[in-house]
Amino acid sequence: MTEDIDNQEFDHTNSERAGVVDYFGFSRTEKFMLSDGIQYFEIKKLNEGERSAYQNETNRDVRVEKRTGDAKLRVQPGTERHALIRRAVVGWNLFRGGERFDFSEASLGFVLAEFPPEIIDDLDRAIRKLNPWLMGDMTVEDIDREIESLKEQRAELLDREEGKGSS
């Protein structure tokens, strides 16, 4: 929808005018809690600039062989997952050896290398949920893996609940 700006009347001194939405600086962060209920990651919803930078960083190469017509698509899911986490994690409350583990770019790299894969997978899912535009990048195979993962998580949870109920 476009309108002639010259014909609009807007009191720039009253930015809290009813119905006016501020689309700038929509920063939104959430806590991704770990199972102990104490430690967490702070994750954010990416803005357009961050989205563009992430997409440029994870651009996939497609090569088509003229002679045969075969296409090769280079996909590195680990690289994409880590690039997304590096953009979306803005802080944390983590402890290592009983001491607070300070947040920095270098320490985030250490966490990505040393943390259990299940936690990193859950963190990735939480970031994608907070940034719905990322779901468009999923393939049918990715969705099928998510479904299987959820089925496994459900079975584990039911087993734990049964164990609690029988004690």
**In which element (H, E) is residue 80 found?**
helix 77-88
Whether residue 151 is contained in a domain is answered as yes
Q: How far apart are CA 76 and CA 58, in angstroms?
A: 9
Distances in Å between the alpha carbon of 100 and those of 43, 85, 97, 107, 160?
18, 20, 8, 12, 30
Q: Are 140 and 148 in contact (CB under 8 A)?
A: no
Whether residue 15 is contained in a domain is answered as no
Type of residue at 120: I
What's the domain count of the chain?
1
pTM above 0.75, yes or no: no
Other CB atoms closer than 10 Å to residue 87's CB: what's the count?
19
Pairing of strands 71-73, 99-101: unpaired
Whether residue 124 is contained in a domain is answered as yes
pLDDT, tens digit only, all 167 positions of the chain? 544 444 455 455 555 566 777 777 667 889 999 999 999 999 998 887 777 777 777 666 556 677 777 666 555 566 788 988 998 999 999 999 999 999 999 999 999 999 999 999 999 999 988 888 777 656 777 677 778 888 888 888 888 888 876 65
The residue range of the domain holding 103 is 24-165
E strands, the chain, in order: 29-33, 40-44, 62-64, 71-73, 89-96, 99-101
Whether residue 113 is contained in a domain is answered as yes
